[in-house]
């Protein structure tokens, strides 16, 4: 029997998710022995036209990482959807928008202004900007569209499963691949990581006092961080209460607070709002002025609470002043 075909693709991402596949280390040999990789742009040479020539549904599973920012990414995502039995959103960016989706707090116009005009290192006297179509010496050149917003994968195509994490851990990847190969899959739409908050498995949970209170927000550079004590009890914003478990606490074990890359649990629609709910219960201050003084310590609430989940949030991004911004 022919080996099942697998595609790995990257959209708006940093390459860390592909690195995570390589981090399977020698286990990747078992994967390669079991499947046939037919597309993996970061690691191997394939042609899109070969994918286009394949029969619809002939790829067993496509792992797509990265958010959707350009027309090309949307095009390939749609192509892989057509050709694949299963599509797995791989990593925070394709599941939730990830770091690239923080750009939803600004606009395409402002991004172009900065990148092509105002940045101190840019010299652009002719005010040239990328266009979707340009003619040079009779030749027509085309570029993919740069969308107004950053989308998560399931905004553009139907997604079967989600592997959260920035990047997903080798354990979660191995579990997912095994489940697919053995046909032991959860219901469609499942997020392939435990549905509970990080705090439930955090070793520091034991040190959490009955009533955590924060009178002053601190950053990890402000204090010597106690390697045993709950971060919130030390006044450091830790996204653990609003974040899904399954990462193996790699940041916590490195004495750094959770930044929320696994996104919210199934019972929560909006990770940032949930974190605000949590902090509201533990911040100190019984009048507005006292509370505002504590809140001053949270310099960038949107960037802190939606660091990975902007596209999956209720508002999705900043309100645009004009239609085509």
Partner 1 sequence: MGNYEPKIVAFVCNWCSYAGADKAGMLKLNYSTDVKLIRMMCSGRVDPQFVLDAFRKGADGVMILGCHPGDCHYRSGNLKAMRRFNLLKKMMSQFGIDGRRVKIDWIAAGEAERFQKVANEMAETVENLGQLHLRGYVESEVQ
Contact positions vs partner 1 (CB under 8 A): 104-105, 148-149, 268-270, 272-274, 276-277, 279-281, 283, 285-288, 291-292, 295, 298, 300-303, 305, 311, 313-323, 325
Q: Return the number of the residue (195 or 300) whose C-beta is nearest partner 1.
A: 300
User: Of the candidates 215, 67, 83, 86, which has an alpha carbon nearest to the alpha carbon of residue 153?
Assistant: 67
68: β partners: 151
Least spacing, CB of residue 303 vs partner 1, in Å: 8
Check if the beta carbon of residue 20 is closer than 8 Å to that of residue 63.
no
Question: Residue 88: helix, strand or coil by DSSP?
Answer: strand
Q: Return the number of the residue (257 or 317) whose C-beta is nearest partner 1.
A: 317
Question: Which helix or strand (DSSP H or E) is residue 33 part of?
Answer: helix 27-34
Q: Return the number of the residue (126 or 286) whose C-beta is nearest partner 1.
A: 286
Least spacing, CB of residue 286 vs partner 1, in Å: 6
Radius of gyration of the chain from its Cα atoms, rounded to whole angstroms:
22
Check if the beta carbon of residue 9 is closer than 8 Å to that of residue 76.
yes
* Buried-exposed string 242-253: b where 16+ CB fall within 10 A, e elsewhere: bbbbbbebebbe
Least spacing, CB of residue 269 vs partner 1, in Å: 6
Give the Cα separation of 259 and 199 in Å (integer).
Answer: 13
214: β partners: 283
How distant, in Å, are the alpha carbons of 175, 178, 304 from that of 182?
10, 6, 39
37: β partners: 6
Least spacing, CB of residue 315 vs partner 1, in Å: 5
Q: Return the number of the residue (35 or 318) whose C-beta is nearest partner 1.
A: 318
Q: Return the number of the residue (34 or 217) whose C-beta is nearest partner 1.
A: 217
Give the Cα separation of 261 and 105 in Å (integer).
Answer: 18
Q: Return the number of the residue (10 or 305) whose C-beta is nearest partner 1.
A: 305
The DSSP bridge pattern shows strands 133-136 and 59-65 to be unpaired
Least spacing, CB of residue 281 vs partner 1, in Å: 5
Q: Return the number of the residue (225 or 295) whose C-beta is nearest partner 1.
A: 295
Least spacing, CB of residue 320 vs partner 1, in Å: 4
Least spacing, CB of residue 37 vs partner 1, in Å: 34
Give the tokens for residue 240. Answer: 């653990």
């Amino acid at each position: 029997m022919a080996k099942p075909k697998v595609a790995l693709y990257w959209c708006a991402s940093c390459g860390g998710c592909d690195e995570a596949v390589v981090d399977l280390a020698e286990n990747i040999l078992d994967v390669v022995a079991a499947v046939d990789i037919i597309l993996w742009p970061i690691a191997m040479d394939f042609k899109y036209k070969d994918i286009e020539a394949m029969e619809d549904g002939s790829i067993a599973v496509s792992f797509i990482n990265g958010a959707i920012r350009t027309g090309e990414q949307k095009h390939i995502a749609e192509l892989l959807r057509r050709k694949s039995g299963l599509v797995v959103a791989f990593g925070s960016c394709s599941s939730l928008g990830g770091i690239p989706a923080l750009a939803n707090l600004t606009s395409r116009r402002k991004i172009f202004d900065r990148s092509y005009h105002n940045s101190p290192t840019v010299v652009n006297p002719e005010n040239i900007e990328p266009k979707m179509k340009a003619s040079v010496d009779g030749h027509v050149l085309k570029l993919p569209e740069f969308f107004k917003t950053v989308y998560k994968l399931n905004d553009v195509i139907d997604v079967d499963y989600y592997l959260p994490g920035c990047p997903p851990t080798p354990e979660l990847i191995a579990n997912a691949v095994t489940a697919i190969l053995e046909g032991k899959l959860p219901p469609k739409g499942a997020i392939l990581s435990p549905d509970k908050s990080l705090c439930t498995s955090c070793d520091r949970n034991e040190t959490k006092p009955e009533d955590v209170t924060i009178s002053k927000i601190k950053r990890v550079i402000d204090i010597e961080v106690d390697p045993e004590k709950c971060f919130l009890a030390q006044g450091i914003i830790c996204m653990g209460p609003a974040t899904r478990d399954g990462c193996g606490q790699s940041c916590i074990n490195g004495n750094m607070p959770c930044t929320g890359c696994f996104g919210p649990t199934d019972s929560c629609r909006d990770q940032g709002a949930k974190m605000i709910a949590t902090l509201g219960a533990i911040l100190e201050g019984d009048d507005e002025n006292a509370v505002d003084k504590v809140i001053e310590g949270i310099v960038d609430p949107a960037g802190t609470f939606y660091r990975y989940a902007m596209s999956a949030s209720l508002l999705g991004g900043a309100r645009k002043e004009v239609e085509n911004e």
